[in-house]
Structure 1
């Protein structure tokens, strides 16, 4: 009997900035708010369900303007009793946080944005990632 395989591909419609910063997420959110005149607000954690009855809770901060949405997420799972030690993007374990930019508007300078993030004292590194090339890109669709 012939087997059919269902392949699903999602359109990646956001930019992904990876950040290295050895601080708690609330402190990074506070500094981003201060440096970029944002208003990142803590939202309900994002829950990703995996096979084997495993779930991954990811810290989630959100800032929305009329035209854009900025989301700060932590790469490592939030500590919890039923958590397993996992990352939202396992191939990028060396990055602590990601900023997802949705609905990038015309005139938005992404390079200037990343430079502004790099100016934050405890940010060691910030770089634009190609989200479409990531192996675990499906974990970023929620």
Structure 2
């Protein structure tokens, strides 16, 4: 009798992932990426939501010439949650909770996901252009296969 097994992790990511450290707001970073990469990032009509507990901003650009889809995703989501205890008469009973899209990289501010059927070959050039942005502290490549929460990048 044959034994059939189902693999838990059958999804193989077909994208390049760049981690970006920057103090800029998401729309400012998208502006500078448009300027330096000659891209056309636009705010997506939707954001990435997980059980209405966290919402991550998303900017997208589809390069029809290279058949490539680019996504700029915020790694942090700050939400206010009501607490049960009130400290004083005039103090609010809300607390801020920070959630991370990729919790194992809490120090990363943004992720640039470059999806392409063929492997994107200009990653080194793209990475160098991102590093030239003065408001970007650093940027580097990440291997999506090494991420524990890589399923959060499927949208």
TM-score category (smaller protein): 0.7 to 0.9
Question: In 1, Cα distance between the equivalents of 2:10 and 2:116?
Answer: 20
Structure 1's unaligned 5+ residue stretches are none
The 1:126–1:65 alpha-carbon spacing in structure 2 relative to 1, beyond 3 Å, is same
Aligned to 1:69: 69
Greater shift in the superposed pair: 103-112 or 116-125: 103-112
- State whether residues 59 and 78 of structure 1, in contact with CA within 8 Å, keep that contact through their aligned partners in structure 2: no
Name the larger-Rg structure. Answer: 2
- State whether residues 18 and 127 of structure 1, in contact with CA within 8 Å, keep that contact through their aligned partners in structure 2: yes
Q: Does 1:94 align with 2:92?
A: no
**SS of equivalent to 1:77:** strand
Aligned to 1:16: 17
Aligned to 1:48: 50
Q: What's the RMSD between the two structures over aligned residues?
A: 2.4
Pick the structure with more strand per residue: 2
TM-score, normalised to structure 1's length?
A: 0.85
Structure 2's unaligned 5+ residue stretches are 83-95
Paired residues, number = 135
